[in-house]
Every structure is written in structure tokens, then in C-alpha cells.
Amino acid sequence: MPRVRFEISSLPPGTPPGELFLTGTHRAWASDPAGWTFERAGPGAVLDAEFPEGTLLGVKVRARTPSGDIVEEGDRWGGRASAYQAVIRGDTTVLLPVAGWQDAREGRDRPSSCAPAREEFSLPAPWGEQVVRLWWPEGAPDDLPLLILHDGQNVFDEAPTFAGASWDAAGAALALAQAGHPVRIAALPVGDERSRRYVPFPFELNSFDSGADEYLDWIREALKPELARRFGPVTPARTALAGSSFGGLITLYAGLRDPGEYGTWGVLSPAIWPADFALRRWMAERSDPQARVWLDMGDHEGADLKGAAEIVGLTQDLAAELRPRVREVRVTIGAGHWHDEAAWRARLPEFLRWWLSGLEET
């Protein structure tokens, strides 16, 4: 098998005492150092390992302190850092430029290069106060198409994001507005209840207690009426719902659960595997003949290149199952795209262009 050296050239100030070890997709993000401990080497550290050819790795560095606490690497502002990614093709070295460690700052001071939401407000919801983050192009009229986005903490500026990376939704939408296709975006941040709110079937990560229907009822009965009160009504044909991963799953479920509610569904990298692919069985008798569906997947979304190719095949199968049930399905496969914000940021402009240009045909 190929030999892989993981190399930290220089450990940052504040590195905790104790054992440094590697975790990642290959270990289901385990926090046990056994077998994956770095050796200190000068100002840095190294770890040698072997992986099968074609492995797709996402990895991070963690530390176990003498007291047994686990600390994960972070960015320079103490927030969560993105995983390092590598495709194993022969012997190689993977450089790990650890910038810092997660701490009480939680990345709150992290600067952003992307535009934030123009406005934030809260609405009562069954789970408490739900923040709504709004963006629209300056000077635009109130009568705009509406895009509702899940994972609203990740779609605008990087500062509040989970791992310091965003979709740059405002940048993508501004470019479309300048081309004559303005849109209003309403993004809904989510926290620790993501698996419960976005997965409509009972499974381990939502403790077998789905809150997806409650979430979708709130969007339909509270969010959309409030936006209509403030900006005027938007027809279903001019309303899109979109999200990635579990956000793609809940988008597809919402469209089929409430036919006629959303004219366009943005289903990015949908994670449809919960409860043994229950969605595919559930959707068998459901349809929305007027809906347009954007369905995409990256070709590096899997444990290895073979598994990623199988996931692309499953995406094509899902498209084939959807086509008799909706008006249109557009499938896009992202070359070299992983399951992360960088990939969804890269594909968002094309989705927006496809959706908004299609409105001219209705």
C-alpha cells in the first residue's frame, strides 16, 4: 500500500502539552490516539502511515492533554478549522499547516472576505427563536424571487461559519443581479439540532425523533407569511428552497411533501442514506409535476475514488427516479469537488443562473 507521511512543519504557539494524534474520515473522527500518534520532530511533528490506493482522506490534528482532555486544531482565531484533504495516489507527503487550536474565542473575531446578510431578525418557532438572515441587491424592488436556504450560518460571511468557509451567497447573487436577475435570499441558521431538523426519518443522529415536519410547517406557516407581509407575496413558481447534504435531503423531502409550495428545489450533495435510504422508498408515490429540480454531487464525496464513483451513480439513479415525478431535473457533477462548503460555493452560481433564467420561461 502507498506510504503517507503527515508532516506538521511548525507547531503554533499555545499547542497543548501531551500527545498529538491524527483523526479523520478514515477513523470516523475518533479521539483515541492509539496507533495514530505523531512524533515530535524539531519545531514540528511527523506521522507515517499506509493507506489503500485511491483513498479520499479528510484529516485533522488533535491533542490529548495529560489530564485526558481532547483539544482539536483550529484557525488562528480559536474557531473550527476545515479538514485537510488528500487523494492517495502512490507514496506521498501530506503537509498539515496547523494554524492554532480551538479555544473560548470560538472564531468570533474571524474576519470575512464575503458580504454578510443585510438584515437579521428572529421569529418565534417551536424550538425557540429562529434567526432569519436576509440579503437582497441594493436598490432592488420588493417584488423579487425568493430563495430560502438551509444552514444559514454558512452561506454569507465566513465569520459565523462552522469551519471558516462560506458559500459567498451574496457574491453569487450580486453577480446575477448585475446580469439582470435579482433575488432575495432568506437563510436559516441551525445549530446542534441539525440532524433532527433536517432528517425526516428516525435514525441514530436524531435520536430516532425527527423534527423535520415541524421545521417545514414553520417555514410554510410562519416564515413565508412574515416575508410576504414585509415584502409582498411571492408565487410558488418564483420561490426556491435549497440546501446541501442533510439540507439537500430536507429540500427534496419538502418539495415532495408539499407539492406546489416551491417551484424550484436546490438539492446539493444530498445525504439520502439515513434509515437505510428511507427517502427513496418514501418518495415512491409522491410527485410535483410543476417543480424544477437541481440535483448535484461532487466526484470526491466518499471514502475512496471507487466509493465516490458509486455515489455519483446513486445520484444519477435518484435523478432517474425523480424525472417522472417533476417537470425538470438538472444534474451536475462537480469535478474534483468534495463534500464541503468550497464545493457548494463553486456550484451555487450555476444553480442560481439556472433557476433565475428559467423563471423567464414560466
pLDDT in tens, 279-326: 999 999 999 999 999 999 999 999 999 999 999 999 999 999 999 999
Q: What is the mean pLDDT of residues 241-270?
A: 98
Q: What is the mean pLDDT of residues 88-116?
A: 93
Q: Is residue 109 part of a domain?
A: no
Q: What is the mean pLDDT of residues 46-69?
A: 97
For position 162, what pLDDT does the model report? 73
Same domain, 225 and 163: yes
CATH code: domain of residue 330: 3.40.50.1820
Same domain, 87 and 130: no
Cα(169)–Cα(146) distance, integer angstroms: 13
Number of domains in the chain: 2
Same domain, 142 and 284: yes
Q: Is residue 164 part of a domain?
A: yes
Same domain, 186 and 160: yes
Q: What is the mean pLDDT of residues 234-251?
A: 98
Q: What order do you get walking across the sheet with 92-95 strand by strand?
A: 39-41, 44-50, 3-8, 92-95
The one-letter code for the residue type at 171 is G
Q: Is residue 87 part of a domain?
A: yes
pLDDT of 348 strictly over 90: yes
Residue 43: give the domain boundaries. 3-101
Same domain, 96 and 189: no
Q: Which of 223, 282, 273 is nearest to 248 (CA)?
A: 273
Band the pLDDT of 109: cuts 50, 70, 90. Answer: confident
Q: Is residue 136 part of a domain?
A: yes
Same domain, 235 and 286: yes
Q: Is residue 113 part of a domain?
A: no
Same domain, 296 and 241: yes
Same domain, 131 and 81: no
| Grid cell of 112 as nine digits | 470575512
Q: Is residue 112 part of a domain?
A: no
Same domain, 128 and 90: no
CATH code: domain of residue 97: 2.60.40.10
Same domain, 123 and 95: no
Cα(272)–Cα(29) distance, integer angstroms: 21
Strands 39-41 and 44-50: antiparallel
Band the pLDDT of 361: cuts 50, 70, 90. Answer: low
Same domain, 159 and 85: no
For position 85, what pLDDT does the model report? 97
Q: Is residue 93 part of a domain?
A: yes
For position 60, what pLDDT does the model report? 97
Q: What is the mean pLDDT of residues 26-38?
A: 97
pLDDT of 18 strictly over 80: yes
**In this structure, are residues 62 and 73 in contact, taking their beta carbons and an 8 Å threshold?**
yes
Strands 239-244 and 146-149: parallel
Same domain, 96 and 174: no
